[in-house]
């Protein structure tokens, strides 16, 4: 039994990359919306983090860390490293939300899916690393 692997044509590749850019862009906008106010220490961002049980002095550092990881994700050469670091950051966010019984605890997981889904679609090397095959039958 042989499985035939079909190479995508140029228009499919272009559509795939654009779909990846849209998914990645959506995730990046969300991450920047969270990172910048924290990095700047805006009062409402400090209040949100304090309500989660973290000390106020960590808010700027959390924002800077998220901003740095997001920048790494946006740069094509470091996108995989950025995705790995963002996965860790978002895992901590999900765990924090579960700990405080926040009903939005799945939001960081969803953002992580956007990050990896976008990277998968826009990066051929990631697709080669995780080759999803259509089911035969």
Query: pLDDT of 5-63, one tens digit each?
Result: 556 667 778 899 999 999 999 999 999 999 999 999 999 999 999 999 999 999 999 99
Radius of gyration of the chain (CA): 18
Q: At what angle do helices 79-99 and 59-74 cross, to 10 degrees?
A: 140
Q: Is 100 helix (H, G, I), strand (E, B) or coil?
A: coil
- The predicted model scores a pTM of 0.86
The DSSP H or E segment spanning 117 is helix 107-122
Query: pLDDT of 82-137, one tens digit each?
Result: 999 999 999 999 999 999 999 889 999 999 999 999 999 999 999 989 887 776 65
Residue-range domain boundaries for the chain: 33-129
CA end-to-end span of the chain: 11
Angle at 114 between CA 132 and CA 21, to 5 degrees: 85
Q: What is the largest CA-CA distance in the chain?
A: 63
The DSSP H or E segment spanning 64 is helix 59-74
């Amino acid at each position: 039994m042989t499985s035939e692997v079909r190479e995508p044509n140029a228009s499919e590749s272009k559509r795939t990359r654009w779909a990846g850019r849209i998914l990645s862009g959506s995730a990046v906008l969300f991450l920047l919306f969270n990172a910048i106010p924290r990095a700047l220490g805006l009062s409402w961002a400090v209040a949100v983090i304090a309500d989660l049980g973290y000390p106020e002095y960590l808010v700027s550092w959390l924002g800077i860390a998220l901003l740095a990881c997001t920048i790494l994700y946006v740069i094509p050469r470091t996108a995989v490293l950025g995705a790995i670091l963002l996965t860790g950051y978002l895992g901590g966010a999900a765990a924090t939300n579960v700990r405080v019984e926040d009903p939005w605890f799945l939001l960081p997981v969803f953002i992580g899916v956007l990050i990896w889904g976008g990277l998968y679609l826009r990066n051929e090397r990631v697709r080669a690393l995780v080759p999803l095959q259509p089911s035969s039958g």
